[in-house]
Chain A
């Protein structure tokens, strides 16, 4: 069975094709559309790695629907077969607690979840619809980023709001990037040759669009920086992260802004873009900091770093110490400057980074980065949400011989 997996980031679209030989899965093809819809210095492009040949196509990509169309056209031209298509959907609210096969009813239910994650959910939906248009007969399924955080204790997911309001709207902390946290936990366990149940980790999932951080105790999520929606927590490319809850009503009264305008400001015009002004990409901002110490770029960089450090402090305390700190996803795995800034002056909680190892770390593999005096192990590694999505697909569509029910 061949599985095509789409993974929608807020400014990227990853795809991978896996072949499942009834015992193991093998990655056969993959690629990624970069800088989808971003305002930056560099143009959008798609990389394809198909059947041993690498290709990079620079082309304007205004949205995820265009990115998906490009990728499907490319797969058709390359004669790449696939049987099922899997997607990552950021927020399933209360209606979706686990992966599900897509039916017309489920699709309607997904549409009601769009406002829960206004940056991601509409993008994922547009990819799903593009696939339906091009391949109306292929079965599709959806996985959710909220599943890994089902283990959050009541004290972590409860907001101290009136009970009637909580009940009416379903307000609670859900948490996101679950597929990534699940993958990272399994990989670190494998690397340390320990069962996941023995691991106390702080994992920083720092993507080019979204970013979050999770405290993992005995292999399970006990707190995470995102909430009911993917807006709170760390500073992101265009999202504010944490804000005083009084600010939405205050700004609405003060500047006569309606909830739609505020949602747009907090989700699409804030974060790194809001502070720095010229780009939403941390790499552009770092370049500007290094080149000419641009004041707003420096501020954006410092706020971003400070927020990550703050959360590491919160979770170190909540865990009463921890075994390993992990940096993952694009920024986490690639940006040594960020890891160095985050780990500076953090000896109080046992963090001591090996500066040379950190600089030399290759972004495509797992790297051990702690200095000998560090009581905390430090890792950088790529994440692989697509592999987790493919594994979920195999559970939903077991091989024919196995279809006992």
Chain B
């Protein structure tokens, strides 16, 4: 399977056959898209295009790419301009180029389409909420996948908090398979700050910047690309690297991210009167273990108890809770290609 994941002005490609993962990045110029697509075409038995924000038009996580869905793709471009525009252009190219193999649109907001109204709507004028200015969430494919995987092993789990620890950390509360809360909002900018995004800030701030003669586009760029922990640290850094950094200014950025994660998990618990299982999906599992334990220990008031994994435990899936902890803690590697691969095939 060939997967295209648009991210800012780049696209990540992955090929995955259920065992072997290859990946790379390219920029979104037409020539580059054609070059990569032609190069990868022989390896692909099917293609998945990740759609970062499907607005109100995509409420199924996986849909086959058809001309009619292409039309909807074009309509939702403004909801995440750069990434959605890339997905749209890739899909246009792919519809011709890969016409001989199955193709899917995998939408990262579809899972959260079912958020309860009190979590989905902002306290904006009603007309705006009716026009689709709502919380769409994000990373929905992975959160949904996490729920399904956890059910296989722990069928009694009713309240799950799924915590994705990568460059855009985010948290989702899932009760009986349904989303009830997420830290992300209308876009991936709300919630916990990311490598280059500011996270939740006072909405007066963008207004003041616009009043000071910055265009809407440059304000968007500033908040989404020039902020976040990279900016404070002064150099690009993965979340795993940041969480391991003990010195200033990394220390301040680390503390901000940890506090935001702790608060987001607390918000999820408030939405479900607690939790049965916390799952941490990590890009860099072993580096993050001490921080995960630190986060969990902040919930000792709920009775949570952590423990050290034993030495012969699996390196990709660890249970970190003590046997008498009322809440289970699972830490596993974030494997997006694996999740998408399985979700696409099970959608058939």
Q: How far is the CA of A306 from the CA of B223 in the complex (A)?
A: 27
B201, B206, B270, B301: the one contacting A312 at CB < 8 Å is: B270
With A161-B201, A227-B204, A314-B267 already in contact, the answer to whether A245 and B189 are too (CB < 8 A) is yes
B262–A317 contact, CB under 8 A? yes
Main DSSP-derived SS at the A contact region: helix
Count of inter-chain pairs, beta carbons less than 8 A = 247
Residue of B135, B202, B222, B228 most packed against chain A (CB within 10 A): B202
A241–B205 contact, CB under 8 A? no
Set of chain B residues within 8 Å of A239, measured between Cβ atoms: 123
Set of chain B residues within 8 Å of A302, measured between Cβ atoms: 117-118
B298–A244 contact, CB under 8 A? no
Shortest Cβ distance from residue A320 to the other chain B in the assembled complex, whole angstroms: 5
Scan residues 133-177 of chain A and give those whose CB is less than 8 A from a CB of chain B: 154-156, 158-163, 165, 169, 171, 173
Quick one: CB contact mask for A217-237 with B, threshold 8 Å, 1 for yes?
000000100011101100110
Set of chain B residues within 8 Å of A312, measured between Cβ atoms: 270
Q: Does B274 contact A (CB under 8 A)?
A: yes
A240–B122 contact, CB under 8 A? yes
With A305-B118, A310-B181, A317-B266 already in contact, the answer to whether A160 and B301 are too (CB < 8 A) is no
Set of chain A residues within 8 Å of B229, measured between Cβ atoms: 160
Residue of B124, B128, B204, B299 most packed against chain A (CB within 10 A): B204
Q: Does A399 contact B (CB under 8 A)?
A: no
A313–B205 contact, CB under 8 A? no
Tell me the nearest residue of chain A to B184, going by C-beta.
Answer: A244
Q: How far is the CA of A229 from the CA of B299 in the complex (A)?
A: 30
Quick one: CB contact mask for A50-66 with B, threshold 8 Å, 1 for yes?
00000000000000000
Q: How far is the CA of A227 from the CA of B203 in the complex (A)?
A: 9
Q: Does A37 contact B (CB under 8 A)?
A: no
B129, B204, B216: the one contacting A252 at CB < 8 Å is: B216
Q: How far is the CA of A259 from the CA of B210 in the complex (A)?
A: 6
Q: Does A270 contact B (CB under 8 A)?
A: yes
Q: Does A199 contact B (CB under 8 A)?
A: no
B126, B206, B263: the one contacting A249 at CB < 8 Å is: B206
B269–A348 contact, CB under 8 A? yes
Scan residues 244-297 of chain A and give those whose CB is less than 8 A from a CB of chain B: 244-254, 258-260, 262-263, 265-266, 269-272, 274-275, 277, 296
A244–B301 contact, CB under 8 A? no
Q: How far is the CA of A320 from the CA of B124 in the complex (A)?
A: 32
Q: How far is the CA of A312 from the CA of B263 in the complex (A)?
A: 9
Q: Does B302 contact A (CB under 8 A)?
A: yes
Set of chain B residues within 8 Å of A254, measured between Cβ atoms: 78
Shortest Cβ distance from residue A384 to the other chain B in the assembled complex, whole angstroms: 28
Residue of A171, A244, A258, A347 most packed against chain B (CB within 10 A): A244
A247–B205 contact, CB under 8 A? no
Q: Does A368 contact B (CB under 8 A)?
A: no
Quick one: CB contact mask for B265-297 with A, threshold 8 Å, 1 for yes?
111111101110000000000000000000000
B78, B203, B268, B299: the one contacting A240 at CB < 8 Å is: B203
Q: Does B200 contact A (CB under 8 A)?
A: yes
B227–A161 contact, CB under 8 A? yes
Set of chain B residues within 8 Å of A154, measured between Cβ atoms: 252
Scan residues 104-126 of chain B and give those whose CB is less than 8 A from a CB of chain A: 117-119, 121-126
A248–B207 contact, CB under 8 A? yes
A162, A171, A229: the one contacting B226 at CB < 8 Å is: A162
Q: Does B239 contact A (CB under 8 A)?
A: no
Q: Does A31 contact B (CB under 8 A)?
A: no
B122, B205, B298: the one contacting A228 at CB < 8 Å is: B205
B204–A320 contact, CB under 8 A? no
Q: Does B198 contact A (CB under 8 A)?
A: yes
A242, A303, A306, A318: the one contacting B266 at CB < 8 Å is: A318
B217–A240 contact, CB under 8 A? no
A165–B259 contact, CB under 8 A? no
Q: How far is the CA of A265 from the CA of B131 in the complex (A)?
A: 15
A158–B186 contact, CB under 8 A? no
Q: Does B224 contact A (CB under 8 A)?
A: yes
Q: How far is the CA of A304 from the CA of B123 in the complex (A)?
A: 8
Shortest Cβ distance from residue A173 to the other chain B in the assembled complex, whole angstroms: 7
Q: Does A299 contact B (CB under 8 A)?
A: yes
Q: What are the 4 tightest A-B residue pairs by CB atom distance, in nearest-first order? A: A313-B270, A321-B301, A317-B266, A348-B274
Which residues from chain A sit less than 8 Å from chain B, CB to CB?
A: 115, 154-156, 158-163, 165, 169, 171, 173, 223, 227-229, 231-232, 235-236, 239-254, 258-260, 262-263, 265-266, 269-272, 274-275, 277, 296, 299-300, 302-307, 309-318, 320-321, 345-350
Q: List 8 A-B contacts (CB under 8 A).
A: A160-B199, A160-B228, A161-B227, A239-B123, A246-B224, A248-B207, A253-B217, A270-B124
Known: A316-B269, A320-B299. 16 other contacts (CB 8 A): A156-B259, A158-B256, A169-B205, A227-B201, A242-B200, A245-B190, A245-B199, A247-B186, A249-B217, A259-B211, A266-B204, A300-B123, A313-B263, A314-B266, A321-B300, A348-B269
